[in-house]
Homo-oligomer: A and B are copies of this chain.
């Protein structure tokens, strides 16, 4: 594993585990982009992406990371992390595709979740809160 990846992951796992969303936001690039599971267009910016990450992590019950993969060819800065959890009785499995920048910050994150009933339930909880946040902060 490239040392850049290892350093980022040590921070990431600790901050997610501790639900320390203030510190988590600081390891996002200022112009970070995120492809959320339900939508195609990317969200942009540290504040917006940080807020959405917080909502997802707090909404999925028993959110825990499992398998981990690293890019082979380009080597540094490309990581895939599997997570699992549930929403009530709806079990889910997801993936974080993480790209780091030269400074070791999260530059792009694409998130996918299966199955569809859990994804749909997650969206129904998170999307209204996210819209409210965007409206209040006019970002």
Report which A residues bind B (CB closer than 8 A).
1, 35-40, 67-73, 78-80, 82, 90-95, 97, 110-120, 123
Contact, CB under 8 Å: B110 / A112: no
Contact, CB under 8 Å: A72 / B1: yes
Contact, CB under 8 Å: B37 / A114: yes
Question: A116–B122 Cα gap in the complex (Å)?
Answer: 12
Question: A95–B72 Cα gap in the complex (Å)?
Answer: 16
Contact, CB under 8 Å: A112 / B94: yes
A97-B97 in contact given A78-B69, A115-B38, A116-B39 (Cβ < 8 Å):
no
**Which residues of B lie under 8 Å from residue A92 when comparing CB positions?**
40
Q: Would you list the 8 A-B pairs with minimal beta carbon distance, nearest first? A: A69-B69, A112-B112, A38-B116, A80-B80, A69-B80, A40-B115, A1-B72, A112-B114
Which residue of B67, B91, B110, B116 is within 8 Å of A123 (Cβ)? B116
A112-B93 in contact given A68-B71, A68-B73, A78-B67 (Cβ < 8 Å):
yes
Listed A/B pairs (10) with beta-carbon separation below 8 Å: A35-B93, A35-B114, A37-B114, A38-B115, A39-B115, A40-B92, A68-B72, A93-B110, A93-B112, A94-B112
Question: A120–B38 Cα gap in the complex (Å)?
Answer: 10
